[in-house]
Amino acid sequence: MEDRKPTSIFTDQDQAMANAILEVIPNTRHRLCIWHLEQNAITRFGALKKDKEFKFAFNQCLKMCVTEQEFEAKWQAMLQKYELTEHSWYKRVYELKDKWCPALCRDFFSAGILSSQRSESTNHAIGFRASKATTLTEFYTIFKKTTNRWRSTEKYDEFTCSKSIAFTSLPLSGMLKHAAQVFTLSLFRNFEEEFGYSMATTVQMLGSNEECLLYQVTLEDKPWYAHQVNYIQESQTVWCTCKNFEASGWLCYHCIRILHLHSITRIPDKYVSKRWTKFAKTEAWDRLKNQDPKQQYIPWRQTMMRKYYNLILKSQENEETRAFMEESFRNSLKMVEDLLASAAQKESAEAASNIPDVADNTQSNTDASSASSTSTCVPIILDSKRVVAKGRSKRAKGGLEKSKRKRKPALPPPNSEFGSKTPNLRLF
């Protein structure tokens, strides 16, 4: 990761892990998995486990609070109503509120991941439930198929994103059209949902000063979810109290509504996160090439290594092919050294001449390219046709070859852990 620390990290409620994170990556925001916290809370409810109103109030504090003031009010009301003010466990949980409360975890980037997804995403990605009878070889085979599926899906998604435009039931114009051009298909669905919510909102202007305008945006059917939006018209800067852009990387429907109110037809560049665009990988790769020119040869190097490795595997079982591969390597090595030497000599000659003649350079380049193409032309050597001469007898096979022919492969016992057949499980 180029010595870069993660912005946020999700774990379960383990003190040893918290201490390690604080020591190794102190600037990373540590968040707790709500699923683990909820499972732990159920064991602490006691007699309140059967009280539906209490469970609803606790879930509201755990997942549904948007602002810090809303969380504080609901938490204190819950403690007073059910006389939990002096309960030690609730005190400890409240001290860790910065790690699990959604209202307090939206001022830093987390890619829109919910803390409850730590276990859900892992189980879904593997697509496989292990048991006591699962062997290590079975797990490795299934996990390998899963990674192959990931790579195949990623290639398909990249091709689809680069060659198609997202479709939508809404009129594809303005900011929605711009989002379809720059964002990936999956991110466009999130932006489309926010755009649809923006059309169901009401706007009220609360005040203004010389530069900034203050609005209140409210959903028509949920007036209690009102948020304040600040907007600077000169620089097209907008920010909302819900902090969706800071946490997820795409604009919320409150900000989209205000931009639409001021006839902004394109998403401002500052609100188009590079990681969510169609060509994010290409831009990242170009940035690496500009930082280190040697990085541009990595794809070619990996491709050639795979090709030669497959050729070696095909040649390893035959003596003639092994000898041919070794001879070809020596010839190729000599040819590469000659080409590099001629290229270095050519560069030194060009550097020595202060005012090179254009015509002479053109002729020399043509001669050099023709010479290099001639020198790099490797003849294709095919196996000669095998003809059995008249009177030649077949070679007598040795005892080891006869025993190998007669011997049958041993089948593993039906209950053995290693070498058993991998079950045909459905992934995803």
- 22 and 74 in a single domain? The answer is yes
- 247 and 299 in a single domain? The answer is no
Query: For residues 34 and 63, is the Cβ–Cβ distance under 8 A?
Result: yes
- 48 and 115 in a single domain? The answer is yes
Q: What is the largest CA-CA distance in the chain?
A: 108
**Count of CB atoms within 10 A of residue 373's CB?**
9
What's the Cα-to-Cα distance from 356 to each of 210, 360, 369, 371, 372, rounded to whole Å? Answer: 63, 8, 18, 21, 22
- 297 and 272 in a single domain? The answer is no
Give the integer Cα–Cα distance in Å for 416 and 270. 59
Residue with tokens 């989209």: 256
Query: Is 169 part of a structural domain of the chain?
Result: no
- 107 and 14 in a single domain? The answer is yes
Question: Which one, of 279, 263, 268, 272, lies nearest residue 173 by Cα?
Answer: 263
- 73 and 106 in a single domain? The answer is yes
Using CB atoms within 10 A of its CB, is residue 277 exposed (0-12), middle (13-18) or buried (19+)?
A: middle
Query: Is 335 part of a structural domain of the chain?
Result: yes
Question: 253-261 and 185-198 are packed helices; what angle lies between their axes, rounded to 10 degrees?
Answer: 70
What is the domain count for the chain? Answer: 3
- 321 and 270 in a single domain? The answer is no
Residue with tokens 């379809």: 180
- 236 and 308 in a single domain? The answer is no
Domain extent at residue 195: 175-276
- 33 and 113 in a single domain? The answer is yes
Domain final residue, candidates 276, 301, 334: 276
Domain final residue, candidates 230, 246, 276: 276
| φ, ψ at 392 (rounded to 5°) | -85, 130
- 197 and 114 in a single domain? The answer is no
Give the integer Cα–Cα distance in Å for 392 and 80. 103
Query: Is 258 part of a structural domain of the chain?
Result: yes
- 180 and 272 in a single domain? The answer is yes
Query: Is 419 part of a structural domain of the chain?
Result: no
Give the integer Cα–Cα distance in Å for 362 and 135. 66
Domain final residue, candidates 229, 247, 276: 276
Query: For residues 28 and 5, is the Cβ–Cβ distance under 8 A?
Result: yes
Question: Which one, of 414, 412, 179, 375, lies nearest residue 277 by Cα?
Answer: 179
Q: Which amino acid is at 46?
A: G
Query: Is 148 part of a structural domain of the chain?
Result: no
- 296 and 221 in a single domain? The answer is no
Query: Is 213 part of a structural domain of the chain?
Result: yes
Query: Is 44 part of a structural domain of the chain?
Result: yes
Q: Which pLDDT score is estimated for 125?
A: 61
Q: Which pLDDT score is estimated for 374?
A: 46
For the chain, 428 residues long, give each residue's pLDDT as a single digit of tens: 667 888 888 887 788 988 999 999 988 888 888 877 888 888 888 878 888 888 888 888 888 887 888 899 999 999 998 888 888 888 888 988 888 888 888 888 887 776 655 555 556 665 666 677 878 888 888 788 888 888 888 888 888 887 777 778 888 778 888 998 889 888 898 899 899 888 889 999 988 888 899 999 998 877 777 889 999 988 889 999 888 888 888 999 999 999 999 989 899 999 998 888 888 877 777 766 666 666 667 777 877 888 898 899 889 989 999 999 999 999 999 999 999 999 888 888 887 775 555 445 545 455 544 444 444 455 555 555 555 555 555 555 555 555 545 554 444 444 333 333 333 333 32
Question: Which one, of 42, 33, 28, lies nearest residue 12 by Cα?
Answer: 33
Using CB atoms within 10 A of its CB, is residue 384 exposed (0-12), middle (13-18) or buried (19+)?
A: exposed
Q: Which pLDDT score is estimated for 420?
A: 34
Give the integer Cα–Cα distance in Å for 276 and 182. 8
Structure tokens at 373: 């193409």
Q: Which pLDDT score is estimated for 331?
A: 92
Query: Is 392 part of a structural domain of the chain?
Result: no
